[in-house]
């Protein structure tokens, strides 16, 4: 366990206090310049994260079926730059090179997702063996290079054939997802030790089913409620089924979590924050850990809940994956799609990324403290954290991205702080390994620690890659080292 005092002594001299997480900035004023940083605990995993549709390409190869993101991205006007994931980073053919880069960085883990339409082209029935073969090759290569695979079964690329039957708004999908999970684990469960069921069900339910700016482009609160509830059910059902056949594997799921604060001191914004918090955080966390929906949403969900559902959803998890990007500052908005709430201004002076998202490392400590205090302190991994910036072009074999280095560094310090405060955090996977297809933003937003030239598909590691590699090697860089 890291002691708080070690953290305080670890702050490097010369860092602007304003750039630091709140608590650490206060501490720095009193701390002498350090000789070396604190240590992330032995066994803490550093790695990188990706998702299938965003990087794989090869959408028509080896029997893969169409996904909702193929349909959506090929619909004119849906993607900002008119692009799609047909080629993306061509990871399907270049995975060995990508694994090699991770091995060179010294990463202990890689979190990736499996494309359901590669495994079951139309979402049901016998597995498509060549599709599973791809993940088999990937997993074997990772293991051979000492990078532990961490697989996610669903990162938003639903088989289109299932969408044609209503997708996540049709309750039948619970059985389909459970079958898909079992088929996939039957092939890969002997080598992949850790499995997440879903990626960010709240984001998929909100953006894909209420806002409609993500696939499948459905709109309306009713669709949100059905999609969210059926994802909760599918997650519980699949964890139970897979645990019965693979009792030794680590099983969990991945949520996007963020502290939600009213953007002003108006009482109606405070109420809006409670509703928004339920939609973003509570409607995932409370059913899984407590077997109920937050009081404020229970009535909304009543029409889609059947007897026994909440018992099925509440299931022990071996870990929770947490995707953290920043806090939400919200306002009351009667036309707002998220429970009559919307995004308001960030607090004055808040730094932002190229997405316009606030940079708030201390929010990560707050999210983990909430899991510790209200949800039994589950074992957690930061399964996504990172930032888009308008990087310069590659030069002399690298890309200079100091803002991303600072972003990652500040969030690793927040991880250390959370661990020092008793949170059961076990690893950090940066989003993302590669610049990739950023959903509705297309290729206009670069989150990678490795630059991808989308014309030639050439990879160029950025300075942030070198930084994380130094952290992984245990070098006392920027106040952070790993190791015993
Ligand atoms: C998360 C998604 C991930 C990526 C990042 C920037 O919500 O899980 O695929 O788009 O945001």
Task: Return the pLDDT at 37.
Answer: 38
**Taking residues 211-239, what's their average pLDDT?**
98
pLDDT (tens digit per residue) in 317-336: 999 999 999 999 999 999 98
Ligand 1 atom having least distance to the Cα of 388: 6
Q: Which domain holds residue 250?
A: 45-344+369-389+429-460
Distance 200 CA to ligand 1 centre (A): 8
Task: Return the pLDDT at 41.
Answer: 87
Phi, psi (5° rounding) for residue 218?
Answer: -80, 160
Residue 424 lies in a domain: no
Residue 317 lies in a domain: yes
Token pair 């036309």 is found at 335
- Contact by Cβ (8 Å): 90, 128: no
Q: pLDDT higher for 456 or 1?
A: 456
- Output Rg (C-alpha) for the chain, integer angstroms: 21
Residue 131 lies in a domain: yes
Task: Return the pLDDT at 23.
Answer: 33
Identify the band that residue 39 occupies on the pLDDT scale cut at 50, 70 and 90. Answer: low
Ligand 1 atom having least distance to the Cα of 200: 8
Residue ID of nearest Cα to ligand 1 atom 9: 51
Question: Ligand 1 pocket: which residues have CB below 6 Å?
Answer: 51, 54, 199-200, 203, 256, 323, 384, 431, 438-439, 447
pLDDT over 70 for what percent of the chain? Answer: 91
Ligand 1 atom having least distance to the Cα of 447: 6
Which of 11-25, 79-93, 227-241 has the least mean pLDDT? 11-25
Ligand 1 atom having least distance to the Cα of 386: 6
Distance 246 CA to ligand 1 centre (A): 29
Distance 459 CA to ligand 1 centre (A): 20
Which of 154, 431, 432 to mutate for ligand 1's pocket (most ligand atoms within 8 Å of CB)? 431
Residues whose CB falls within 8 Å of the CB of residue 106, separated by 6 or more in sequence, listed in order:
46, 469, 472, 473
pLDDT (tens digit per residue) in 194-222: 999 999 999 999 999 999 999 999 999 99
**What's the full length of the chain, in residues?**
484
Ligand 1 atom having least distance to the Cα of 51: 9
Which of 323, 326, 353, 383 to mutate for ligand 1's pocket (most ligand atoms within 8 Å of CB)? 323
Ligand 1 atom having least distance to the Cα of 203: 7
Residue ID of nearest Cα to ligand 1 atom 4: 438
Checking if the pLDDT of 100 tops 80, the result is yes
Residue 334 lies in a domain: yes
Identify the band that residue 483 occupies on the pLDDT scale cut at 50, 70 and 90. Answer: low
Which of 438, 443, 445, 446 to mutate for ligand 1's pocket (most ligand atoms within 8 Å of CB)? 438
Distance 426 CA to ligand 1 centre (A): 21
Phi, psi (5° rounding) for residue 358?
Answer: -70, 145
Residue 469 lies in a domain: no
Residue 360 lies in a domain: no
pLDDT (tens digit per residue) in 47-72: 999 999 999 999 999 999 999 999 99
Distance 244 CA to ligand 1 centre (A): 31
- Contact by Cβ (8 Å): 326, 360: yes
- Domain with residue 197: its CATH number is 3.20.20.80
112 three-class SS: strand
Residue 16 lies in a domain: no
pLDDT (tens digit per residue) in 415-442: 999 999 999 999 999 999 999 999 999 9
Distance 57 CA to ligand 1 centre (A): 17
Checking if the pLDDT of 1 tops 90, the result is no
Checking if the pLDDT of 27 tops 60, the result is no
Task: Return the pLDDT at 29.
Answer: 36
List residues with catalytic annotation. 384
Distance 55 CA to ligand 1 centre (A): 12
**Taking residues 24-36, what's their average pLDDT?**
36
Which of 48, 153, 200 to mutate for ligand 1's pocket (most ligand atoms within 8 Å of CB)? 200
**Taking residues 369-394, what's their average pLDDT?**
98
- Contact by Cβ (8 Å): 441, 80: yes
Buried b (16+ CB within 10 A) or exposed e, 128-151: beebbebbeebbebbeebebbbbb
**Is the peptide bond prior to 112 cis by the omega test (within 30 degrees of 0)?**
no
Checking if the pLDDT of 381 tops 50, the result is yes
Distance 85 CA to ligand 1 centre (A): 15
Residue 21 lies in a domain: no
Distance 102 CA to ligand 1 centre (A): 20
Count: domains in the chain: 1
């Amino acid at each position: 366990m890291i002691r708080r005092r070690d953290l305080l002594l670890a702050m490097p001299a010369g860092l602007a206090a304003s750039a630091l997480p709140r608590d650490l900035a206060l501490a720095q004023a009193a701390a002498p310049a350090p000789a070396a940083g604190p240590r992330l605990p032995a066994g803490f995993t550093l790695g990188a994260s990706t998702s299938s549709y965003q990087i794989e390409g090869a959408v028509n190869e080896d029997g893969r079926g169409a996904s909702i993101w193929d349909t959506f991205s090929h619909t004119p006007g849906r993607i900002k730059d008119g692009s799609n994931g047909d080629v993306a980073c061509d990871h399907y053919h270049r995975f060995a090179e990508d694994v090699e880069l991770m091995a060179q960085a010294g990463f202990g883990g890689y979190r990736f997702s499996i494309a359901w339409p590669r495994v079951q082209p139309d979402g049901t029935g016998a597995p498509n063996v060549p599709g599973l073969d791809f993940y088999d090759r990937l997993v074997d290569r990772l293991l051979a290079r000492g990078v532990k695979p961490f697989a996610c079964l669903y990162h938003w690329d639903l088989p289109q054939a299932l969408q044609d039957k209503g997708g996540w708004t049709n309750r039948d999908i619970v059985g389909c997802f459970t079958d898909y999970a079992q088929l996939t684990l039957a092939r890969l469960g002997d080598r992949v030790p850790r499995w997440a069921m879903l990626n960010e069900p709240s984001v998929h339910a909100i953006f894909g089913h209420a806002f409609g700016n993500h696939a499948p482009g459905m709109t309306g609160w009713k669709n949100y409620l059905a999609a969210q509830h059926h994802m909760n059910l599918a997650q519980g059902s699949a964890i139970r089924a897979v645990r019965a056949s693979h009792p030794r594997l680590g099983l969990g799921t991945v949520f996007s979590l963020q502290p939600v604060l009213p953007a002003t001191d108006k009482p109606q914004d405070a109420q809006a924050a409670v509703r928004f918090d339920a939609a973003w955080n509570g409607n995932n966390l409370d059913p899984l850990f407590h077997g109920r929906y937050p009081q404020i949403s229970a009535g909304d969900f009543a029409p889609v809940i059947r007897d026994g559902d909440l018992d099925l959803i509440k299931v022990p998890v071996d870990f929770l994956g947490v995707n953290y990007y920043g806090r939400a500052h919200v306002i009351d908005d009667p036309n707002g799609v998220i429970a009559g709430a919307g995004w308001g201004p960030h607090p004055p002076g808040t730094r932002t990324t190229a997405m316009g998202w606030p940079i708030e490392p201390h929010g990560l400590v707050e999210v983990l403290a909430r899991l510790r205090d209200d949800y039994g302190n589950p074992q957690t991994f930061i399964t996504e954290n990172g930032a888009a910036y308008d990087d310069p072009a590659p030069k002399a074999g690298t890309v200079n991205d100091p803002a991303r280095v600072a972003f990652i560094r500040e969030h690793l310090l927040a991880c250390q702080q959370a661990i020092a405060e008793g949170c059961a955090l076990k690893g950090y996977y940066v989003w993302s390994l590669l610049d990739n297809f950023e959903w509705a933003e297309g290729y206009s937003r670069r989150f990678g620690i490795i630059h991808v030239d989308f014309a030639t598909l050439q990879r160029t590691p950025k300075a942030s890659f070198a930084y994380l590699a130094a952290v992984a090697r245990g070098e006392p860089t920027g106040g952070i080292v790993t190791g015993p």
